[in-house]
Structure formats: C-alpha cells, structure tokens
Amino acid sequence: MKNKRVLCIGGTSGMGRGIAEAVKSQGAEVIITSRALDKAVEAASEFGAQGLAVDITDASSVEVLFKTVGSFDHLAITSGASGRSRFSDTPPDQARAFMEAKLWATHQCLWSAKPYLRGDGSITLISGGYAEAVTNEAGHVHIAFQAVEAMARAAAVAFAPVRCNVVRPGFIDSAFWDFLDAGARDTLREQEKSRTLVGRSISAREFGDAVAAIMAASAITGATIPIDGGRHLWQPA
C-alpha cells in the first residue's frame, strides 16, 4: 500500500473507517467521503486522510468526486442503503429506492471510476451475510447483496486487469451499532461472538486489515470473501 492512492467511499466510520485506517497505516494516501463535507473533513483529520463530499445516488456528484480525485489505485465502497427491506409489504417505489441506493449507486461509482483507476489497482465492494440468508424481513437486502456480488464478478471481467472483489462481513463491532443502548449492544455482541469460529467479535480495524490484504493480493479477482471469523459456517444447534 505504500504510496498508493486509496479512495474509500463511506470511509468516515464503521467498516469503511477500518479500511481507511488500515491502508493509511501501510503508507497509502487515503481519501474518504461522506455526504456531508464537514463530516468527511473532520473524520479525515483524525488520521491524516483527505475528506471529500459525495452523494452516490446523484450521478453528477459522483462524476465530480472522481474528477476531483484524479488517478488512483484502489477503490472501496462501503456505503449502503437504508429503509424498508421486508419483502411481503414493501411497496415497489420503496423497494426501488432501496435498490437504487445499494445496487445502482454502486454501479454509478464503478462507471465513473473506470477512467481513473490504474491498471494494477483494485475495487472492493461489500455485501453481507444476507447474501446467503433469505428472510422476509431482509428480503430486499438479500436481493441487493446477491446483485452486488454478481456485479463484482462482471466488473472483474469487464475492467481487467483492474481487479474487483466483494467482501462479505458478519457482525463487525463498530460505530454502526451506536444506535443501540449499552445492554442491547452487549447482548448482540455476545450472541454474535458465540456464532463465530474464532470465539470473538471482529473489529472494524481487523476487517480493514483483511480488506487491505485483498487489495494488495494481485492474484485475487472476481471473488466473494467472507470476513466474519467463520460466522458463515455457523449452524444452529
């Protein structure tokens, strides 16, 4: 990662921040983004990165971001969708909005990044355990994650020799869960810890270190890689 330029879309907190800090510690020049410029700048100042603003659901905003960044080596996209995902009662307009924010916003980023990515670089996308697990409550999450994983494979072929992979995290103990009160978070942490093979939660920085290794691994492309301490192999007793 030394002297490489790495753009982390959604890198101000959580898993994206873990990636940004990991590659920065290895000598990379790091750019992180948020919808709000002040948030991006403040977060970036905490570890010596550059902060820029982007709304990935707005094509013009995405185009401006990549023109501002210029040539770079590695792209990680960790920002995602929020909103209703329950398949049985989410009306089409809300389902469409969810898919736009996760799937098509990611596609826009890939399209806009293409002219600026150096040939020995990489793209890392993110899905999650619901790519395999199918529930009514997370129906649209499942659909979006499956589609993102397919998009990573398509991009690996279309953008070669630039590599494209997707990582599939489990429970990452990060600021993403700050909306829970202390008791609920401790309960979730213990529950998820018991479902890993390593017997503990995975931190955002551990997740970031794993992604940095994938970025640097020139033999890996078109792959879906769990980063979950073996959580994907857990089976209920």
Count up the domains in the chain and report the number. 1
Region 192-206 average pLDDT: 91
Mean model confidence pLDDT for the chain = 92
Token readout for 44 is: 């970036």
CATH of the domain at 193: 3.40.50.720
Domain enclosing residue 50, as ranges = 5-230
When computed from its CA atoms, the radius of gyration of the chain, rounded to whole angstroms, is: 17
Q: What integer pLDDT is reported at residue 23 of this predicted model?
A: 98
Beta-bridge mates of residue 169: 227
Q: What integer pLDDT is reported at residue 94 of this predicted model?
A: 85
**What end-to-end distance do the CA atoms of the chain give, in Å?**
42
Q: Domain for residue 235, yes or no?
A: no
CA distances (Å), 181 to each of 109, 172, 175, 178, 201, in order? 34, 17, 12, 7, 18
Q: Are 57 and 30 in contact (CB under 8 A)?
A: no
pTM: 0.92
Q: Over 50: is that where the pLDDT of 26 sits?
A: yes
Q: Domain for residue 237, yes or no?
A: no
Work out the number of other CB atoms within 10 angstroms of the CB of residue 85. Answer: 21
Q: Domain for residue 236, yes or no?
A: no
Q: Phi first, then psi: give them for residue 236, nearest 5 degrees.
A: -60, 145
Q: What integer pLDDT is reported at residue 98 of this predicted model?
A: 81
Region 32-48 average pLDDT: 96
Q: Are 28 and 6 in contact (CB under 8 A)?
A: yes
Tens digit of each residue's pLDDT (9 = 90 or more) over 71-117:
999 999 998 776 667 899 888 888 888 888 889 999 999 999 999 99
Q: Domain for residue 90, yes or no?
A: yes
Q: What integer pLDDT is reported at residue 237 of this predicted model?
A: 46
Q: Domain for residue 170, yes or no?
A: yes
Question: Which range is least confidently modeled, 49-53, 90-94, 165-169, 225-229?
Answer: 90-94
Q: What integer pLDDT is reported at residue 132 of this predicted model?
A: 86
Q: Domain for residue 109, yes or no?
A: yes
pLDDT tier for residue 235 given thresholds of 50, 70 and 90: low
